[in-house]
Amino acid sequence: MRTTLLLICLLGHAGVLMAQSNVADAAIDGYVIDATGARIPGATVVVTAPATNQRRETSTDADGHFRFTLLRVGTYALTVSAQGFAEYRQEGITLNVGRSVRVDVTLSLAGVDDGVTVRADASMVQTTPTGSGEVLNERAVRRLPLSSRNVYNLHLIGPGVKGVPSSNAATTVFFTGGLARTTWMVDGIDATSRRFDRQIRLGVVSPEAVEEMQLLSGGQSAEFGRSAGATLNIVTRGGTNDFHGSGMTIYRPNSLAARPPLAATKTEQSWWLAAGNLGGPIVRDRVWFFVNDEYNPYREPQPVTITTANTQALGLTAEDVADSEYGETYHSPSAKVNFQLNPRNSGFVRYGRFSNAQPVGRTGLTIPARTTDYRDRQNTVALQWVSTLTPSLLSESRFSFNTRTETRRPVGSSGPDGAFINIQSVANIGVNPLAFNEGTETSTTASQTLTWTKGRHMVKAGFGYQTTRLAVTNALNRTFTFNGLAAADGRGPVTPLDQYLQTVRGDIDPATGRPYTYSQLTQQLGDSSLARRFHFLTWFAQDELRISPRFTVNVGIRHEALLYPVMDDRAPHLLSRDVQDARTNIAPRVGFSLLPVRSRRTVLRGFYGVFYDTPSLNLLINAGINNGRRVQTYVVQGSDAGAPTFPSLLAGAETSLPAVAPSVTAFSPELRTLYGHNAGIGIEHEFVRNLTVALQYSWWGHRDGLYARDINLGEPVRDLADGRPVFQGASGRPDTRFNAINLLESGAKSNYHGLDVTVRRRSTAGLQLSATWTWSHAVGDGEMQGGALSNPADRRFDRGDLNGDARHTLNLAALYAPQFQTRFLRFFNGWELSSTAFWNSGYPIDPRAGVDLNNDLVLNDRQIGVARNSVVGPRFLQVDVRVIRRVRWLDSHALELFVESDNLLNTVNANCTNACTDAVVNRQDAVDFGRITGARPGRRVQLGVRYSF
């Protein structure tokens, strides 16, 4: 503790700056000078938000400098006055999330001017942030095409990130030097689910509830952490002193949709959406509210493909084989209350809920009753309280509670002894009452931050604590399999269907003289539930030093600790019992920004930092469940002595049959947290008013990546031509209690180099544009998420392009609303055209051998001489368009009619969220190697109407 306090004190005098000091807010700063360029101390500066009448006041310091921090996102007016000078007022200053807007003011002598009023936004070139990223304003969020209703897709438009848009509410997968290394925030408060192999968002925000979106893809300040990649932040809408609201409905006609790629016919689908919101004052100038709701059902009936003859033979009813009502129903209500209790205390309280219901799964040869009813329920509560303790000391307190529960329950009912029945190539019937799966992740977060302004310094320090409880119940398998019988002892071959029917009837098999039976029973017994709690602690310190009005340097430091629970102190393997805590993760950050010329139209930025990631908590929980003690798996042949008679099952612990030796996960005693070095340098220039071009190079060097190595393979028997050892397989296990012992280790490495060119045009004359082209290359030992090595003897054998490596990427967003003054062209006013486009040169394919060449019992081998991810997959292109016709009346009322389409060009895109390996034929010796087998949706068209006031 003494060391921690000493570090904070030292940093308070070292002269450091955060790259983005405002997590969910914004700032204004600048200098006040006279006509000769002399700085004016003691000038009174007032900033006002017209929408809420919030007002803040300060005075310039000895350098003539002023600063306002923690301002709510929106439009402001700035007023400056000083004795002997005419008053200056600038209106229309737009504050975006995470940005500090620079507004320099020149005062005229009193009597020369009665006062100056300017209506103009601040310059696009700012000295902060020092890192890379993008901000999408409310116009972009509300007007860009978004058929998926997944607002997170729009984060792909900024520099430093790669990926493809999600076609529905599923989490968009981002590549920032590595896959899914992302912190998700809402209103600057952590909303990240760390349960799965990739970090996803907790809580889904409707696009109608979003005010702005912020992407931080590199160079984040010490205030940000817990992921070795990007930070994605969404600022939700709040109320104002005027009542405003809207209602919207969208319909997707199936007749206008293209036939799905790779499909022979177009299935019947239904999709529609209803959304509405309202915001306004509760107490004028003090308390405001905003509520929003969105409801979106989608149905795509799935046919059951069991033949009529087999249906009759099995005695299935018409109801049993009716098309399943597969689909999803999304519902996302939210509410937010902002308050300004007095000039010293402000904040907000927010509640959000997201639910998704899939009443039945996909079918085919599977009857609907056997599938599961999926439910996803997410609830979030967040609170922020900002207090001005003294004129130079601000306090930010944040609290959040996030919970997500996913359940999968059997659709059909059965007795306690029910089981799945698989009749090969005929039908999958039966109901397993233990096919119940549930996972609940509950996170509570609290943080406290202090900001102290003194002269040229702005010191910021804080700490945070999060506790996450993960409770998981996995399904227990009960499956009878009927594969048919080969001819034997004068009896001809028996089809799987006849084998099942004769088993049910109790017929005698003439080849054995015993009743017909199943081919195999797979059954799991035991306790498949586990709940554990994880603790995360952080502190940081940072400071801003204005060396001059044109030059800023920054340094910060962050500490993160992750405390793991004991997974199972009775696990058979010692290394499966617990995980070493991560207590010493120290992350320094440094950066600078420089305006090299007096015109302030060019800014040079550079940064370096260390970022620590968070491992998949589900990986640890599943290791605790499947450790060889809690759950036992039995695989019984129907002909085995002691095998239960169909449809009876094994009788729990009383069974005399041996369980299958389990495969377990063990944790290396030297296990460390994955971290990344991040560095970059860039230049941005404003060529004309409201148009900038930025060029940036960035590097990510990830270290201590996770991988799994089977340490229970025994001695190799020979080597392949490329040096890979060939093992003995299952017969040579040194520890016969287990099959695979997958030791989770750290040490994998990867490097990413990227060059981004970004063009931005601020909304001017109705045109707004943001486009980024990227060249990049990412190489590593593997994906570093705990996957199995293809060569357990040498992880470097897997060195190759990363799954998310796309050499060239171009993402674009554009909006145009004509503002013609010419009489004959005014007809086009009120129309608006917007578009997004996502293109990349192709994700890699990992060519597979299709056989287990090294006999390690993992089917991820490649042919001799073939590197991992050595083939470039198909290119990706998706162009989305929206056309709006807007009619206004009574100043504040508007009606919009719009049509939008995603994948307007109906491009056949492989379903690659990262690598394309699983979306194509990946066996290298196949004649159709590389053929797309899984495709994303084709063109979809939607019609909508929105009324707003």
283-332 pLDDT, tens digit each: 999 999 999 999 999 999 989 999 999 999 999 999 999 998 899 999 99
pLDDT at 914 over 90: no
379-389 pLDDT, tens digit each: 999 999 999 99
Mean predicted confidence (pLDDT) in 177-187: 89
pLDDT at 8 over 60: no
The answer to whether 397 touches 385, Cβ cutoff 8 Å, is yes
Q: What is the DSSP letter of 53?
A: T
pLDDT at 398 over 60: yes
pLDDT at 130 over 80: no
Measuring CA to CA, which residue among 73, 381, 50 is closest to residue 211?
A: 73
pLDDT of residue 22: 57
pLDDT of residue 98: 82
Collapse the DSSP code of 276 into the 3-class scheme (helix H, G, I; strand E, B; otherwise coil) and give the result.
strand
516-557 pLDDT, tens digit each: 999 999 999 999 999 999 999 999 999 988 898 889 999 999
pLDDT at 118 over 80: no
Measuring CA to CA, which residue among 340, 342, 391, 451 is closest to residue 59?
A: 391
Quick one: what percent of the chain has pLDDT higher than 70? 95
pLDDT at 6 over 60: no
Mean predicted confidence (pLDDT) in 239-245: 96
The answer to whether 536 touches 559, Cβ cutoff 8 Å, is no
Q: How far apart are the first and last CA of the chain?
A: 55
pLDDT at 5 over 50: no
pLDDT of residue 114: 61
Averaged pLDDT score across all residues of the chain: 92
pLDDT of residue 12: 34
Q: Model-level pTM?
A: 0.91
Token pair in block for residue 547: 């060396």
pLDDT of residue 110: 83
pLDDT at 19 over 60: no
Token pair in block for residue 211: 């005010």
Question: Cβ–Cβ contacts within 10 Å for residue 576, how many?
Answer: 25
Collapse the DSSP code of 607 into the 3-class scheme (helix H, G, I; strand E, B; otherwise coil) and give the result.
strand
pLDDT of residue 3: 38
Highest mean pLDDT of the ranges 185-194, 649-658, 821-830? 185-194
pLDDT of residue 732: 87
Query: Identical fold at 13-119 and 132-236?
Result: no
| Topology at the third CATH level for domain 132-236 | Ferric Hydroxamate Uptake Protein; Chain A, domain 1 (2.170.130)
336-355 pLDDT, tens digit each: 999 999 989 999 999 999 99
Token pair in block for residue 351: 């509640």
Report how far Cα 212 is from the mean position of its chain's Cα atoms: 17
Banded pLDDT at 169 (limits 50, 70, 90): confident
The answer to whether 249 touches 291, Cβ cutoff 8 Å, is no
Banded pLDDT at 723 (limits 50, 70, 90): very high
pLDDT of residue 661: 94
Mean predicted confidence (pLDDT) in 633-643: 93
CA distances from 258 to 204, 224, 648 (A): 28, 43, 49
32-47 pLDDT, tens digit each: 999 999 999 999 999 9
706-722 pLDDT, tens digit each: 999 999 999 999 999 99
Degrees (nearest 5) of the Cα angle 872, 754, 140? 95
pLDDT of residue 21: 45
Collapse the DSSP code of 574 into the 3-class scheme (helix H, G, I; strand E, B; otherwise coil) and give the result.
helix
Pairing of strands 100-102, 26-34: parallel
Banded pLDDT at 115 (limits 50, 70, 90): low
Q: Picking from 77-86, 120-129, 325-334, 456-465, which range would have the lowest pLDDT averaged per residue? A: 120-129
Strand order in the sheet with 116-119: 54-59, 44-49, 74-81, 88-95, 116-119
pLDDT at 203 over 60: yes
Collapse the DSSP code of 498 into the 3-class scheme (helix H, G, I; strand E, B; otherwise coil) and give the result.
helix
Banded pLDDT at 823 (limits 50, 70, 90): confident
Token pair in block for residue 179: 């896959």
CA distance 466 to 444: 6
pLDDT of residue 812: 96
Domain range annotation of the chain: 13-119, 132-236, 244-483+519-948
pLDDT of residue 13: 34
pLDDT of residue 116: 65
Half-sphere exposure of residue 287, counting CA atoms within 13 Å on the CB side? 5
> Domain 13-119 is classified in which CATH homologous superfamily?
Carboxypeptidase-like, regulatory domain (2.60.40.1120)
453-485 pLDDT, tens digit each: 988 898 999 999 999 999 999 999 999 999 999
211-234 pLDDT, tens digit each: 999 999 998 999 999 999 999 999
750-773 pLDDT, tens digit each: 999 999 999 999 988 899 999 999
pLDDT of residue 129: 63
Cβ-count burial 15-53 (b if 16+ within 10 Å, e if not): bbbbbbbbbbbbbbbbbbbbeeeebbeebbbebbbebbe
pLDDT of residue 120: 64
Strands (E), 455-528: 457-473, 478-482, 508-509, 514-515, 520-526
At 608, which helix (H) or strand (E)?
A: strand 602-612
pLDDT of residue 653: 60
664-674 pLDDT, tens digit each: 999 999 999 99
**Type of residue numbered 429:** I
Indicate the class that CATH gives domain 244-483+519-948: mainly beta
CA distances from 801 to 369, 704, 810, 914 (A): 43, 17, 20, 12
pLDDT of residue 837: 98
